[in-house]
Amino acid sequence: MAPSHVSVTTADGRTGPHPSYIEIAKPFIFESKVHECLTHAKVSESEDTKIRLQGIAWIDSVRKAMHLPVRTYNTAAVYYHKFRLMHPGTNGYIRQDAAAAALFAACKIEDTLKKSKEILCASYNLKVFPSEYLTPDDPIFEQNSKTIIGLERLMLEASGFDFRNRYPQRLVLKITKRYGLDQSPVGRTAYNMCLDLYRTLAPLKQTSPAMAMACVELASRLHEQRNPELESGTGYARFKIKRGEVMETLLDLLDLYTHFKSQTIAGLDHPLDKFLAIRIILNKEAESRSHPRHTATKAATSKHPLNNGSSSSSSSYNDTKKDRFSKKRRSPTSPSNLDMPDISETANGGVLSLAAKPGLKEGTVRFMLSAERARDEREWVEGYFRMEQEEYVVEAPVERRRERERGR
């Protein structure tokens, strides 16, 4: 994660260690960030969608072959999406290996442990006849197994080591029962739609209640069991969600069913005309209520993330937290200039450049879950890199004596 020795030399010639980077776990990702990642990697949206659907289909098929629970599928899909945003291109790995690494990491997180060779073996056996099945100990899986283990670290770094996962399938059944809908047609369809929802990027943008509400509402519309209370959003306050969030999730699902209907579970059971008719109705509702296509957007503030010790004009701190850390004596080797060069773009002096290894930051990268703790630490470290200067105006008595002598 970090070179053995990385130093920073300031303008005044003082040399000290790099202040390190702090990566805060992001449980939700804005749509603008998704487009920013794709634009930076020069990957078209259609190509990224194609790769994403292939990867999730591979995870789902292997998960079913290994009889893994749905929660492992949810976690693997989310980790795969985040990894694809951080590394949209191949970058030296096979796309199937990325899906296998996501499932391998999810098995550890969800306590459904499987070896990497077992995952590769299950994937291989799905393509051959039963007479040609192999065992996980076969030497053919040795090389790919090492690749998956290496990609597991990148999976964890892409997710920010955030193991807080969401399982909206449980909430789907509860909402179906609460609004008095039939469990057999509506509940089953909503459950399958919740599985299809992980083929999109909606799990990265929405909460579990928003996803569950969207799946139940779309299933009730398909089976013509419309519920005015469900569609009006009167129960959204209980789950702290808004109609715009549910509308965005509904449109994400309809985009999936109208363009990639054959690659879904619930889409095969219903004709395309129904999805198109529902989409027209929802588009009219969104236009009449002025719901944007993407509810949560955020403009990019800087090209590179702030390093520890740097300040931003958009950051605000509470005055009561400024004295949380005591100002200790500064080290003589600590740089005192805030205008330090960004060594993440330096390619000389034995330091690797970002072009050589995409996604690598030169210096120590530390991961935190609490944004408040990261802000407090950044403010504390900032004091060691601040150059303080004081100016004094002193009247010299010698000048007055000279003026008196000249007057004589």
Share of the chain above pLDDT 90, in %: 40
pLDDT digits (tens, 9 = 90+) for 223-250: 988 888 888 888 898 889 999 999 999 9
Assign 408 a pLDDT band (cuts: 50, 70, 90).
Answer: low
* Least confident window among 169-178, 202-211, 230-239: 230-239
Burial class (CB in 10 A: 0-12, 13-18, 19+), 4: exposed
Predicted local confidence at residue 362, as pLDDT: 57
Q: Do β-strands 21-24 and 15-17 pair in parallel, antiparallel, or remain unpaired?
A: unpaired
pLDDT of residue 8: 54
Distance between CA 171 and CA 194 in Å, rounded?
10
- How confident is the model at residue 302, as a pLDDT? 44
Higher pLDDT, 403 or 328: 403
pLDDT for 24 beyond 60: yes
The pLDDT value given to residue 400: 62
Average pLDDT value for residue range 190-202: 94
Q: What's the whole-model pTM score?
A: 0.73
- Residue 305: the pLDDT is 46
At 43, the pLDDT band (50, 70, 90 cuts) reads confident
- Which tokens sit at 304? 């590179």
3-state helix, strand, coil in the chain (%, to 5): 55, 5, 40
Rounded to whole angstroms, how far apart are CA atoms 167 and 194?
10
246-297 tens-digit pLDDT: 999 999 999 999 999 999 999 998 999 999 999 999 999 999 988 888 886 6
Out of 5-14, 36-45, 216-225, the most confident range is 216-225
Q: Kindly tell me if the per-residue pLDDT of 353 is higher than 50.
A: no
- Please enumerate, as own/partner, the contacts of 140-148 that have beta carbons within 8 Å and a separation of 24 or more: 141/116, 141/117, 142/117, 144/97, 144/100, 144/116, 144/120, 145/115, 145/116, 145/117, 145/120, 147/93, 147/94, 147/97, 148/97, 148/100, 148/101, 148/104, 148/116, 148/119, 148/120
The pLDDT of 325-344, averaged and rounded, is 34
Lowest mean pLDDT among 29-38, 218-227, 305-314, 368-377: 305-314
Percent of the chain having pLDDT more than 70?
74
Tell me, what's the pLDDT at 44? 83
Of 87-91, 164-168, 274-278, the poorest mean pLDDT is in 87-91
Instruction: Give the mean model confidence (pLDDT) for residues 324-351.
Output: 33
In the prediction, which pLDDT does 203 show?
92
Q: How confident is the model over 30-40, as a mean pLDDT?
A: 83
Pairwise CA distance, residues 148 & 118, whole Å: 12
pLDDT at position 93? 60
Predicted pLDDT of residue 4: 47
Res 257: pLDDT: 94
Per-residue confidence (pLDDT) for residue 18, from 0 to 100: 62
Report which of residues 321 and 240 the model is more confident about: 240
What average pLDDT does the structure give for the chain? 77
Structure tokens at 180: 């008095």
* pLDDT at res. 402: 65
